[in-house]
Structure 1
Amino acid sequence: MKTIKLTLAYLGEQYSGWQIQPRQPHLKTIQGELQKGLKLLTGEEVQVIGAGRTDAGVNALGQVAAFRTSSSIPCDRYPEALNGILPEDIIVYKGETAGDSFHSIKDAKGKWYRYHIYAGKFPHVFFNKISVHIKQELDFAKMSEAASLFKGVHDFRSFCVSKTEKKTFIRNIKECKISQHQNFIFLDIYGDGFLHNMVRIIAGTLINVGNGKLLPDDIPCIIRAQDRTLAGPTAPARGLCLIKVDYDIKENFFCKAENLDMPPLFY
């Protein structure tokens, strides 16, 4: 047996999230499609474990997934083989052998998410499916000021779904910044982990700062209150993208990443 690590991207619009729903097996999921494809290739019933259990409609550019197999298929052959089987909105970019103890969730040191906002009079015909259209003008300076206040170790109970089984809400946000390119506004956030809907609630809160419903000074108060009702709405899923998963604690790829101010197609 060996462990194969895959790096893949997908558009989440047509899927009910990453994870197979045992109680609703008819739902189409990224994990389900991968496992069906791998069964055709290997003849085995494998379980694919993804680093991020993205919600329905959420996209990914650098999702990482791993599975155990007895197949003799070389690891670098999986991308081409799978891409000939999978739907066109799921693309596997890399296959490599990982150690037997590798776990795509437990070994992750950090994740980088980006939320896409398009602030223009009309929706953008090409990017409408991966961004959220905001008609009104947004105050970029205030959004940027507010975003920086999320950095650090905080209890993010105010930025999590109300009904959750999580025992701790403390997370370390190492970077949170807003950048702009023409009418696009990007929220880039990197941390050691995220609560359910946390990035989308932060995005919705920052949009409320941009349109004047909240002030940057409100952010620390909302964090301290640990009250979900004080934060902004949960921004739509389609604007969120899992950019990369970090497995090397010595290197913060977010800080070194280039082209953060470029349009969504040019990561």
Structure 2
Amino acid sequence: MGGQGQGAGLLGDRLSRYHGAQPPAAAAHRRLCLRCAGAALLGAAGALRRGRTGLRHLVGAGRGGGCGRIPGCRRPQLQSAWRDLRLPPLGRAQAAARHPGPGCRRRTLRQRRHRQQLPVRRVLRLVHRQLRFGGTPQSRRRHLRIRIGPRILGVDAVQHIRLIVAYRGTRYVGWQIQHNGLSVQQVLEEALTAIAGRRVPTLAAGRTDAGVHARGQVVKLCLPESFRYRADELVRVLNPLLPEDVAVIEAGACEPGFDPRAEAAGKHYRYTVLNRPAKPVFELGLCWHLRRELDLAAIRAAAAALHGEHDFSAFCSAGADGGHRVRTIDRLVVHREGDSVFFDVFGRAFLKQMVRNMVGTLVEVGRGRLDPPRVSAIMESRDRRRAGPCAPAQGLCLMRVYYDPEEYLRDAARIGAPD
């Protein structure tokens, strides 16, 4: 790698710009190449999942040899991070007791001050600040691995890759890693770990619920620059390692600051209802089977009240995160193709089980149990108990995530339109 001798300078410059201060001269003799600094940062990111007792990858004060890539590089050593980050510096009495001998106290105090100025330790102090303040544990982990890491190490230190993943969510507890079962994210990260040799965190455009499927889930990940496969080769490499109900459809490079969730222009969800007396055979696990014929004219009249920007508290399931519940539905189309009735919903963001609760209420209208004008009154009441039941998860599928606003509006207008 050309310019390895300048790696420490690049890292120090980026750290100084990030913290608004110049890199200390005392740390100049303990330089880090980008690869060793990246190993320390990724180790800290993985330790966040183990809570406050983690954060073990720190730089020792002159202990052990370097990596040999640049003169003076000090490879990160395993030490107790929590003790060093929380406790104040040693006093003279403690330093003398721990390092007896003439002249040791002054050298020990000076050495400890220098250790606090190492570049990687600055990174971990930033991690420590993320642990103590602000946001949920999930948001802190995402902020560390997606935003802080690339900003400190620079765009030349990692490959930024975007995947399009399809999966059948029948046997999964959802996209996000859960403690109570197998998730799609866990399966994908295990496959990435097998080819990368270390854990590779991922960030998705949406967190689908248990049993919900996806055809176009967008996933962002970062791999080291020295990774032996190109981004466009991940489709060939990952699919043999994934189970039969998960597949990587596309893979390619993306911008360093790309956030698949925040930058999405819109999402397309489709709910499928098999509306016929005969039970599903080939559609088993992919639809909601209703034997009695639905009144599509009444459903379309009721769905008109859900268009636009509203407070969808009446269609938000219990246990959802706090905050405002105002969302915008750009288009909701109900159309029939053969024995299947499709509910196509276009929007930028959705509440927990919002689409399934809307479909369940509209199905009650199609069954004749609710009048179409009552849907508007239910939404204005903001009372979940007045709405219909939550539709089963197996009928819902994340069709696509859009990042081009024009393409999003064009496809939203095209779905359900007469040929």
- Bin of the TM-score, shorter chain as denominator length: over 0.9
- Aligned partners of 1:138, 1:131: CA distance in 2, in Å? 15
TM-superposed CA distance for 1:109, in Å, is: 1.8
- Among 205, 209, 215, the residue aligned to 1:55: 209
Work out which of the residue numbers 90, 97, 113 in structure 1 matches 2:253: 97
What displacement does 1:141 show?
1.1
* Corresponding position of 1:2: 159
- In the alignment, structure 2 segments of 5+ residues that lack a partner are 1-157
Whether contact under 8 Å (1:159, 1:202) holds in the other structure is: yes
Is residue 2:327 matched to residue 1:171?
Answer: yes
1:191 aligns with 2:326: no
Shift of 1:260: 7.9
Larger C-alpha radius of gyration, 1 or 2?
2
- After superposition, the CA RMSD in angstroms is 1.5
CA contact (8 A) 1:148 1:177 kept: no
Residues 327 and 350 of structure 2 are in contact (CA less than 8 Å); yes or no, is this contact kept in structure 1?
yes
Residue 19 of structure 1 corresponds to 176
Indicate the residue corresponding to 2:318 in structure 1: 162
Contact kept, 8 Å, 1:15 with 1:28, in 2: the verdict is yes
2:248 alignment partner, SS class: strand
Partner of 1:254: 411
Equivalent residues of 2:267, 2:347 under 8 A apart: yes
Look up the SS of the partner of 2:261 in the other structure. Answer: coil
Match of 2:188 in 1: 34
**When you count strand as a share of all residues, which structure comes out higher?**
1
Runs of 4+ in 1 over 3 A off after TM superposition: 256-261
* AA of the residue aligned to 2:328: N
Deviation of the 1:257 alpha carbon? 4.8
Deviation string 1:3-31 (CA, Å, 9 cap, x unpaired) is: 1100011100011110101x43xx21100
Residue 394 of structure 2 corresponds to 238
Native 8 Å contact 1:146 1:209 kept in 2 = yes
Distance 1:260 1:20, change over 3 A: farther
Partner of 2:32: none
Provide the rounded CA distance (Å) in 2 between the counterparts of 1:49 and 1:103. Answer: 8
The one-letter amino acid of 1:249's match is P
How far off its partner does 1:250 sit? 3.2
Q: What is the CA-CA distance between 1:137 and the residue it aligns to?
A: 1.6
Which structure is richer in relative contact order (CA contacts within 8 A, separation 6 or more)? Answer: 1
SS at match of 1:84: helix
Paired residues of 1:177 and 1:187 also in contact (CA < 8 A) = yes
Alignment-mate amino acid for residue 226 of structure 1? R
Shift of 1:226: 0.5
Alpha-carbon distance in 2 for matches of 1:130, 1:175 = 23
Which structure 2 residues correspond to residues 16-165 of structure 1 after superposition, within 5 A?
A: 16-21=173-178, 23-24=179-180, 27-70=181-224, 71-165=227-321
In 2, the alpha carbon distance for the partners of 1:217 and 1:127 equals: 33
Distance 1:164 1:17 in 2: 15
SS of residue in 1 equivalent to 2:169: coil
Identity value in percent: 36
Counterpart of 1:265? none
**Uncovered stretches (5+) of structure 1, i.e. residues with no partner:** 262-267
What is the deviation of 1:245? 0.5
Tell me what 2:88 maps to.
none
TM-score (norm 1): 0.93
Could you tell me how far apart the structure 2 residues matched to 1:157 and 1:216 are?
Answer: 19
Q: Whole-Å Cα distance in 1 between the matches of residues 364 and 413 of structure 2? A: 29
* Alpha-carbon distance between aligned partners in 2 of 1:258 and 1:145, rounded to the nearest angstrom: 18
The verdict on how the C-alpha distance between 1:98 and 1:240 changes in structure 2, with shifts beyond 3 A counting, is same
* Equivalent residues of 1:44, 1:69 under 8 A apart: no
SS at match of 1:176: strand
Counterpart Cα distance in 1 of 2:320 and 2:196: 37
